[in-house]
Amino acid sequence: MRTTLAALIGMALAGTAARTAASQGTPRLAIDLPPAAADPTPGQPGAAPGTGPAVRALDVLSEGQTRDLMRNGFPARLHFRVELWHAGGIFNALDGTREWDVIARYDPLDKQYRAARLAGQTVTVLGEFPQFPALAAAIGAPYTVPLVPGRGGGKYYYNAVVDVEMLSLNDLDEVERWLRGELTPAVRGQRNPGGVLGRGLRTLFVRLLGAERRHYEVRSKTFRVH
């Protein structure tokens, strides 16, 4: 007999309280400046970075409810947004943004975790992992964001956010294609992958009822562009 969606949710949430203590650390988002900006010369707040910042999502899937739902096959979506701000005058000005998604899922049949990153028109398979800590380490690895100041001198800083939510099983076929590294719609001609990725997958997924969306945010140190 096929297990209903309601039953799956019930099983996933049943052990939440008991497993919350098993999370590996405090969930948080970290942003590391490039060496040129992070290690300024004496008397200066920083130099122009040659590359963008490195973002790390640490233990953001370790919360008990999230892990329980994943163990029952529900995909997790991490939507990242990094903003570059020019700090000057009375008001700060937004200088640029980058957005991308990470999709992660546990396959109860294969007993493997899988994850993929969707950025622009590219799907990058992060790998298959037999244990949750290996998945958490892959998601927490630094990801360099191609976002650097495009104007003249001044002070800048980065602001990074990630929203973590569990997804329904309605688009599981689509999720499976991305986890295999494919950028192809499930039904030919019905979905434009470029448009989908550009909107951060928002039109594809229905949030899983009862699963709280978790939001993490961090701001970098201010650095100067000469």
Number of domains in the chain: 1
Prediction pTM value: 0.75
Beta-carbon count within 10 A of 118 CB: 22
User: Using one digit for the tens of pLDDT, what is the confidence trace for 162-210?
Assistant: 999 888 766 677 788 878 888 654 433 344 444 444 334 443 444 555 5
Angle at 92 between CA 58 and CA 78, to 5 degrees: 25
pLDDT per residue over 90-125, tens digit each? 788 899 999 999 999 998 888 999 999 999 888 899
Range of the domain at 96: 5-225
Q: What is the DSSP string of 134-161?
A: HHHHHHTS-EE------SSSEEEEEEEE
